[in-house]
Structures are given as structure tokens and as C-alpha cells.
Structure 1
Amino acid sequence: MTAAAVGLSHSPLIGKNDPAPDVLARVDEAVENARAFVRDFDPELVVLYAPDHYNGFFYKEMPPFCLATEAHAVGDFGSASGPLSVDTEAAKRLAQGVLDRGVDLTVSARMTVDHGFAQPLEVLFGGIDRVPVVPVFVNGVAAPLGPVSRIRALGTAVGQAAAALDKRVLFIGSGGLSHDPPVPVLEGAPPRVADALIEGRPPTPEQRARGEERVVQAGRDYVAGSTTMIPLNPEWDNLLLDHLEKGELAAFDSWTVEWMGKEGGGSAHEVRTWIAAFASLAAAGPYGMASRFYEPIPAWIAGFAVATARTGDLR
């Protein structure tokens, strides 16, 4: 197997609450570099690790991670809706390979995904149905959360199982870095909100529109400084990127759930997708980081990063 990885932040506020033009230009350049990297690698299969924002997974059943053999995007925040081009045969082989390696993987035969999955596919490939993909949900918001070591174990097992496919495989981690958006929590929620978080009843178009507008307004408030959300943390974000660049993945095993939330905000656990993707890449052999971009962008409520890497010596 030839392997590569892309880490890419996502935000529902892109295009709705954008930063200054010079910041946007730097992001666009980094994203275009990632697109060129992907085109040059020309993947035969994409394994996409991404979170959910209570659109597909709810407290009625909330696995720490789940692999899909079929998936459909809801189209939230203007992202694409419809079926992803899931490689079902590859997904089944990866699932069995992960289970054979002692990682208790959940499998979905009909996964619902949101912008966390759709955005990277749209950004890097121009659509959600342009490349064979195996979606892997990684819980990053719904407490309780398990140790990061299990996410690294998941990524390693997926990477080892992918080696048996004998394909050019691109691993993508979608989300993060530090950010603390207004995501609902179950503990202390009013009965109506708690019921929605548990049962997963889909919102009406009007309810979804109101919810999305609240997030957009939260981004504006964040920029204005009139908010209780935890500030972005460039130091923490770059520590994460340093470990990834140096291949120091075992260092994440000491990162506790409480510490990550304190340092990076309530949704900082989306970086678990990056850790999984780079653990999968490392399972294919030593790797080098080809590009690394980072910018704290309050307008998107995100420490925004783009990174590319592949196995082998890049010098």
C-alpha cells in the first residue's frame, strides 16, 4: 500500500462569516496546495475520519467510533446532501481487519453524516461522490469520551488493515483544532433539548435554519468579544501539529479528556480525527509532512489548520 494523509479543519461558518481578505487568501493558498497534493497522489481509496454534530449519532446509541458501509449526507449549513460514494467492499474488509486486530469497532450499514464529512470531500475533490470513500465517525462532542489511546489504536488498526487492500490510500482527518462552538450538551439540557439529543428526531427545515443562524451569530459575537466561549489556543494547536509532524503519536496517549477541553474548548476533541488519520498513515511506514498551515480564525470559531503528509522521505 502507498499511503498519504491530509488533516483539514472544517467550519460551518465558511462562506457565511469570513475573516479579512488577507486571511482568507492564506487559507485558500493552503487549501489549494492540499488539493494539488491529493491530485498528485491520486488516491484509489479515501478513508475519511470525521465527527458528527448531532445529525447522525445521538445518545440513544453513541459509539466512540463507527465505520460505514453506506452513508448519506444531510446537507447542513449549505454542504452537499445525498449519498457518499462508499466503497462497500473495502469498508467491509477494513471493518473485519480492525476487529481482527482487537479494536471493538461499530459498523453502520446506513450512516447519516453532516458537514464534518461533506466539507473535506467537497473541498478536496469537488463533491461528496467523486472518489471511493470509507467514512469513519469519531465522536468528538458527546460525553463521556474515552482515552485518546483508543483512537490511536483505531487508526493503527485501520492502517494495518488497509495495507492488505494494496491500493493508494489517502487518510483524511476532518475537524478541529481548538474551538468551542455552541454545541448542545445533554447534562443539564431542558427536557425538549435532551429528548432531541437522545432520540435524534430530525429538525424541521425551519428549526434547522434557526439553529444554523444561531451558530452564525455566535461566530459574530465571538469576533466581537461578547461571548463566554473559550478562546482559540494557537499554542495548543501547534503542539498538536508538532507531534503529528514529528511522528510522536504516542505522546497523545497522555492527553486527558479534561485537559483537552480546558486547553482547546468543548469541540477540541475533533482533533481525534487527525490523530486517527496520522496513526493510519504511520501504520504504513515512516512518514514526512509535506505541508503545514495554521491560522487562528475567530470568525470561523476555529484554530484552522491544513496539513499533508505521505510515507517515505520527502527531502
Structure 2
Amino acid sequence: MVVCASHSPGMLRDTGEEDGATFRAGIDEARRRVADFAPDLVVFFGSDHRRAFVDSVPAIAVMVAADGLGDLGSPTGSYDVPADIAEPLAASLLEQDFDVTVVRKVALDHGFGQTYSHLIGDLPTVPVIPIYLNCATPPLGGPGRLYALGRRVGEELARLGKRVLYVGSGGLSHSPPSLEAAAAGLSDEERIKVNEAGRAAAKDKINPDWDQQFLKRIAHDPESLATFTNDDIVPAGVGAHEVRTWIAAVAAGATPMETVAYEPVPEWITGMGVVTTSADALRSAWPPPTISDPRSNRL
């Protein structure tokens, strides 16, 4: 199964849930589908907002241990990372000429945590392999290369014969002032000041036409993502580079996809979307699970 979903700090500020009703309903539907699928393993393609990786910034990193940073309401605690699967996966990717970094200790921010909590719940809950993709700190690699990465990950893990959920978190169109700024390593207080100063202008940088075209690609021509370029993303803003995580997840799962929800939310300065493996494909792919606790079938 595949789920890709936007994340946004704006959801935390919106304590009264006044905005994003369509997106919230889409997340609820995706969470129901994930619960029905009952994954044995989650492979989570996520980004970092210049918190975990500042002085040294890998293009791709496979985590063999990770904690939740707890920023912006994201969960704290430790991810349940099956190192006995993650390490061989990283080794295989290296053998296939993907220059991945293996990370043995890291605290992951809301680029992982917010969508994890929306779809799955508190940490740890389900075994998960976090795979970090650099989406924020130039120079950035080509997004099409991450389609190839995702496909290789999917092929490797298909050999396990387990129920694997692939998640991509981030995007769609948005251009946060703190990411537009050249300086890395801002404190959360400094980020808030920068973002507040530029919030009004950022509301106008959502690009619904770009978002809709990207969603159509996923549903009708996912193979075209293999040739996606940085120039293709530029019209959607610096934050849209997070769709690299979607590209990798879609390629890994290689399932028919459908848009569950899309909504531009100016107050969150982001085009918010949710896509999943199509409902028809989910019904036909696996029989109902015979175990009640996915951790009891741990790999």
C-alpha cells in the first residue's frame, strides 16, 4: 500500500480546526485504509527542515535507529526501526550505486512525525524504516533519480512477502519563508519570526494548477515521474521539493493510485493533498489480515 500526504505546521496553529476540512477528511480516510491494511512494516520517505541535518546533509539516508523530535506537535519517543531489515536494505542500495548514508542516531522532526501520527498514531506502534531525502538544502539531486530509488526499495522488500506500507510526506506547492532563507540552522524561535514576517506573501505562492497536474501524473502516468526535474518543481515553490518523497513512495509501491483529497489552504500556506493506493486495488491485493497486532508478525 502507498499513502502520500502533505504536512504543515499550520495545522498545529489551527486549534479550532477552522481550515482544511477537505484535507482533514482525506487524512481520516487514509488512516482508515491503513488500519484495514494492517501493515507489518512501514517504509517512510520523509524530509527534514534543517534540524537533524545542518552541517552534514546527505542526499539519501536510511535510518537504523531514530527518535521523534516532538516539534510542532509531532510525536516523541523512539521509532521501532527493524535494523535487521534496514541495514541489509542500505547495503543493497549501495551495491546498486545509490549513495546512501546509514544513520544510527537521529531525532526526526515533523517531516516524518506529523504524517506518522496522522496515519498510524503514537510512537512506536508499527515497525518502520525511515528514509530521509534531502528536499530543503541545496544542492538538490534530481527528483527523477528518487523514482529509481523507490523502485529498487520496493523490489528489495517485496522479497519479504510482508504487508508493506510506503509513505511519502510533504508538499504540495508551498514556499515557506524559512526555507527560502539561505541560512540553515535557525532556532525554532528564529523560524517563527521569519515565517510570521513572510506569511502574507507565502499565502499567494500556492499553485493549485501545478498541484492538480502533479496529482494527475501520479494517478494516470506515474512512470513519467522517472524523468521529473528540479525545473519541473520550481513553479510550485521551494517547499514543493518535498514531493521527492511522494515520487519515491509511488515508485516503491508500484500500485494504482487515486487522489483522496486536495485543498489549497492559504492559512497553512500550502496546497494540501492526500493520495493512496486505489480502493479497488486494496480490496484485491491482500486477503483480510489474520493477526490483530502487526507487531506479532514482526520481520
Q: TM range, normalised to the smaller chain?
A: 0.7 to 0.9
Closer/same/farther in 2, CA of residues 155 and 16 from structure 1, 3 Å limit: same
- The match for 2:196 is 217
Q: Which amino acid aligns with 2:242?
A: E
1:43-192 mapped onto 2 (5 Å cutoff): 43-58=39-54, 60-184=55-179, 187=182, 189=183
Q: Which amino acid aligns with 1:299?
A: E
- The match for 1:302 is 270
Q: Over aligned residue pairs, what C-alpha RMSD do you find?
A: 2.4
How far 1:82 sits from its partner (Å)?
A: 2.5
Q: Distance in 1 between matches of 2:168 and 2:253?
A: 11
Q: Distance in 2 between matches of 1:20 and 1:13?
A: 10
How far 1:77 sits from its partner (Å)?
A: 1.4
Q: 1:66, 1:138 within 8 Å by CA — same for their partners in 2? A: yes
Closer/same/farther in 2, CA of residues 218 and 125 from structure 1, 3 Å limit: farther
Closer/same/farther in 2, CA of residues 215 and 14 from structure 1, 3 Å limit: farther
Instruction: Extract structure 1 runs of 4+ deviating beyond 3 A.
Output: 17-21, 184-187, 310-315
Q: Which amino acid aligns with 1:138?
A: L
TM-score, length basis structure 1: 0.82
Q: What secondary structure is seen at the aligned counterpart in 2 of 1:136? A: strand
Using the aligned pairs only, state the percent identity. 36
Q: Distance in 1 between matches of 2:271 and 2:96?
A: 34
Q: 1:278 aligns with which of 250, 253, 265?
A: 250
Q: Which amino acid aligns with 2:190?
A: G
Structure 1: which 5+ runs fail to align? 190-196
How far 1:291 sits from its partner (Å)?
A: 4.6
TM-score, length basis structure 2: 0.86
Q: Distance in 1 between matches of 2:91 and 2:99?
A: 10
Q: 2:233 aligns with which of 246, 260, 274?
A: 260
How far 1:126 sits from its partner (Å)?
A: 1.4
Q: What secondary structure is seen at the aligned counterpart in 2 of 1:122? A: helix
- Count of aligned pairs: 283
Closer/same/farther in 2, CA of residues 50 and 20 from structure 1, 3 Å limit: same
Closer/same/farther in 2, CA of residues 78 and 212 from structure 1, 3 Å limit: farther
Q: Distance in 2 between matches of 1:144 and 1:42?
A: 38
1:190-201 mapped onto 2 (5 Å cutoff): 197=184
Could you list the per-position Cα deviations for residues 87-121 of structure 1 after superposition, in whole angstroms to 9, with x for gaps in the alignment? 21121132123223332221111122100111111
Structure 2: which 5+ runs fail to align? 285-299
Q: 1:34, 1:124 within 8 Å by CA — same for their partners in 2? A: yes
Q: Distance in 2 between matches of 1:120 and 1:184?
A: 20
Could you list the per-position Cα deviations for residues 6-50 of structure 1 after superposition, in whole angstroms to 9, with x for gaps in the alignment? 0010011213047974x5332222111101100111100000001
Closer/same/farther in 2, CA of residues 216 and 148 from structure 1, 3 Å limit: closer
Q: 2:59, 2:133 within 8 Å by CA — same for their partners in 1? A: yes
Q: Distance in 1 between matches of 2:258 and 2:181?
A: 40
Q: 1:30 aligns with which of 22, 26, 29?
A: 26
- The match for 1:193 is none
Q: What secondary structure is seen at the aligned counterpart in 1 of 2:238? A: coil
How far 1:184 sits from its partner (Å)?
A: 4.3
Closer/same/farther in 2, CA of residues 34 and 312 from structure 1, 3 Å limit: closer
Closer/same/farther in 2, CA of residues 215 and 89 from structure 1, 3 Å limit: farther
Q: 1:242 aligns with which of 216, 221, 224?
A: 216
How far 1:215 sits from its partner (Å)?
A: 6.2
Q: Distance in 1 between matches of 2:124 and 2:106?
A: 15
Q: Which amino acid aligns with 2:261?
A: F
- The match for 1:11 is 8
Q: Distance in 2 between matches of 1:125 and 1:313?
A: 17
Q: Distance in 2 between matches of 1:20 and 1:120?
A: 17
